[in-house]
A = this chain, B = another copy of it.
């Protein structure tokens, strides 16, 4: 009883056409040098002629390797992660891996669901964009014994490989930079309040406290970040603390939104209010005035994650490691 066959061209079809066994065809695809040139040419000709596309599912099932890696990011629309993705993608593609992307919507439950899903798809490894996961996700990842890279932030206790930057130190640095520039009544505005934002906030507080300044000018919301929200938060802050002379926004979207709000209010930046953002997105270098920000090495994080992951996939020993990729303060016109 032949099962409904997909109708697709298979190894067998190629083999029959050429007059060899399908193992030879398979070998020709995986290790061409192990097949005689005559046969190889004829196989290649047949593959071309029949438009053969290997079935990766079958290959993966048989070999135990899918040559694919899952990359989970919090958000697709947030361009912060697109650079990371580009780095990961490029590095892994070169090594012959396909990147499968998923977005968690900043939810560790959704992350858990995606880890489950991608394990079901048989990925060979994971790149995660956080160091915080549900217990069940931890269990799944441990049990699967796959290489895992946790990116963006640093942790003392990596699951496996950790590539990121010290978010708290970055928050501290921008705080210090504002202080060094002479500002004294410095505010913080933050949205989403995920772990990374909390770390930046803590760093900002560290810096202000060390300088003996008040950390009370702090406006936060769990709502997702957006340009408009930057304007709204700034408005609220100006109402509460009209004396404020600088604001560190937890990301560039908010900073740009705050800048637009200042323009709307005819508030001179940086004359009456200085603004700083975080991440170094393109927009910070395009607005007028340009925005001071913390440039995070997102592309480099992605590339490094890919590199380390490939090493591990190719059999490098498994010992947890942390890689601090640093950051850079860009002082621009807004301060």
20 contacts between A and B (CB under 8 A): A4-B64, A7-B145, A51-B139, A51-B143, A53-B116, A55-B120, A55-B122, A57-B58, A57-B61, A57-B122, A68-B121, A76-B86, A100-B101, A227-B282, A227-B285, A228-B286, A230-B286, A256-B283, A263-B263, A264-B288
A287 to B286, CA, bound (A): 13
A117 at the interface (CB under 8 A from B): yes
User: Which of A77-85, A165-173, A203-211 lines the interface with chain B?
Assistant: A77-85
| Chain A interface, number of residues (Cβ within 8 angstroms) | 54
Q: Contact residues of A with B, CB < 8 Å?
A: 4, 6-8, 51, 53-58, 60-61, 64, 66, 68, 76-77, 79, 82-83, 85-86, 98, 100-101, 116-117, 119-122, 139-140, 143-145, 226-228, 230-231, 256-257, 260-261, 263-264, 282-283, 285-288
Task: Say which residue of B53, B119, B121 sits within 8 Å of A120 (CB atoms).
Answer: B53
Q: In the complex where A64-B6, A76-B82, A85-B76 touch, is A140 in contact with B57 (Cβ < 8 A)?
A: no
Whether B53 contacts A228 by the Cβ 8 Å rule is no
Q: How far is the CA of A85 from the CA of B85 in the complex (A)?
A: 16
Chain B residues within 8 Å of A120, by CB? 53-56
Q: Which of A139, A226, A257, A287 lies at the interface centre, i.e. has the most chain B CB atoms within 10 A of its CB? A: A287
- A-B contact sample (17 more), CB < 8 A, given A100-B100, A226-B286: A4-B64, A51-B139, A51-B140, A51-B143, A53-B120, A55-B61, A55-B120, A57-B121, A76-B76, A98-B121, A227-B283, A227-B286, A256-B286, A260-B287, A260-B288, A263-B263, A263-B288
Expressed in whole angstroms, the Cα–Cα distance for A307 and B298 within the complex equals 35
- Tell me, rounded to whole Å, the shortest Cβ–Cβ distance linking A318 to chain B: 15
B61→A61 contact, CB < 8 A? yes
Distance in Å: Cβ of A323 to nearest Cβ of chain B? 23
Q: How far is the CA of A51 from the CA of B119 in the complex (A)?
A: 12
Complex CA distance for A83 and B103, rounded to whole angstroms: 13
Of all chain B residues, which has the CB nearest A82?
B77
Residue on B nearest A120 in the bound complex, by CB: B56
Measured between beta carbons, the chain B residues less than 8 angstroms from A60 are 57
Give every chain B residue within 8 A of A117 (Cβ-Cβ).
Answer: 98
Q: Is the CB of B61 within 8 A of A282?
A: no
B122 with A56: CB separation less than 8 A: yes
Instruction: Pick from A83, A227, A231 the residue with the most CB of B within 10 Å.
Output: A227
A264 to B: closest C-beta gap in Å: 4
* A261 CB contacts on chain B under 8 angstroms: 288
Residues of B with C-beta under 8 A to A54: 120
Residues of the B chain whose Cβ atoms lie less than 8 Å from the Cβ of A228: 282, 285-286
Q: How far is the CA of A120 from the CA of B287 in the complex (A)?
A: 45
Determine the chain B residues whose CB is within 8 A of the CB of A57 once the complex forms.
57-58, 60-61, 66, 121-122
The distance in angstroms between the C-alpha atoms of A77 and B87, with both chains bound, is: 12
Chain B contacts of A282 at CB under 8 A? 226-228
